[in-house]
Structure 1
Amino acid sequence: MATVTLTKDNFEEVVNSDGMVLVDFWAAWCGPCRMFAPVFEGAADRHDDIVFGKVDTEDQTELAQAFGIQSIPTLMAVRDGVVLYAQPGALPEQSLEELIGKLREVDMDQVRAEIAKQQQAE
């Protein structure tokens, strides 16, 4: 599946949908971003059940600021509308594949129960 360009207009709709979404925060001038791009694109081709989105931090500064992006590339993983991972740095292909495997294994019922418990405690 091809990557999706994410903007302030479609970000919430895409990221809050059911399933997994991987978001690459990047910029054209960023060398590590350019090195990570083919790894991200390759994973998008291999995992057609996952949405792979890209946020150009130069064009979408509001989104970058909203998520506190201070270093790029930053990869964010969202599953069923819950952010499970957000880390700066370009991952090698094997590390990205391992991360995807771990994200698939997450028990989302348990995550939602933990979130509900935390919200009740507030």
Structure 2
Amino acid sequence: MIDEELEKIKKKQLEDMLKLQNESNESKMRTVIDLDETNFDQIISKNEFTLVDFWAEWCGPCKSMHPVFTRLCKKYVNIKFARVNVDNNQNIAMRFGIQSIPTFVMFKNGKSIDKMVGAVGEPGIHMICKKYSLDQ
């Protein structure tokens, strides 16, 4: 009887370890998706939550946010992270009233539900993600 219980415990621990390893590998592979006119609506409507970074190549604060955005993409696995270059995709920026960059917009099933403007740093991105994330 004790042997059976030990085997159950060992099996459960092994399953838990494998699950953690798979989750870790999955999060390492996550990347920020570049959006444009051809894929924007499809990506934001097919994912429950998508955080979009509206940025431009010439914008210093935008560039300083890229590593933060990329790093947090791996942490919040139920949120898709994407970005839109506003110079190359002015119609998308106008559609959502983007007047300053960087601007971060959270979408749920294709609808804009939250927005942060400026180089908000890691704490700002954490704040918006924690509101909508299952990965607390």
TM range (shorter): 0.7 to 0.9
For the pair 1:42 / 2:71, whether they are aligned, the reply is yes
Structure whose alpha-carbon radius of gyration is higher: 2
Identity %: 32
The Cα offsets for residues 1-29 of structure 1, whole Å up to 9 and x where unpaired, read as 10111011111111112321000000010
Asked whether the equivalents of residues 53 and 103 of structure 2 are also in contact (C-alpha less than 8 Å), the reply is yes
The aligned residue for residue 102 of structure 1 is 131
Distance in 1, matches of 2:74 and 2:47, equals 20
Q: Which runs of 4+ in 1 moved over 4 A?
A: none
Q: Which runs of 5+ in 1 are unaligned?
A: 106-122
Letter in 2 for 1:34: K
For the pair 1:25 / 2:54, whether they are aligned, the reply is yes
The aligned residue for residue 52 of structure 1 is 81
For the pair 1:75 / 2:108, whether they are aligned, the reply is no
The aligned residue for residue 31 of structure 2 is 2
Q: TM-score, normalised by structure 2?
A: 0.71
Distance in 2, matches of 1:3 and 1:18, equals 14
For the pair 1:84 / 2:120, whether they are aligned, the reply is no
Letter in 1 for 2:43: V
For the pair 1:16 / 2:45, whether they are aligned, the reply is yes
Q: State how many pairs are aligned.
A: 105
Distance in 1, matches of 2:127 and 2:93, equals 26
Structure with the largest fraction of helix: 2
Q: TM-score, normalised by structure 1?
A: 0.79
Distance in 2, matches of 1:80 and 1:62, equals 20
Distance in 2, matches of 1:61 and 1:82, equals 18
> Secondary structure of the residue that 2:77 maps to in structure 1?
coil
> Secondary structure of the residue that 1:46 maps to in structure 2?
coil
For the pair 1:93 / 2:122, whether they are aligned, the reply is yes
Q: Which range is displaced more, 25-34 or 40-49?
A: 40-49
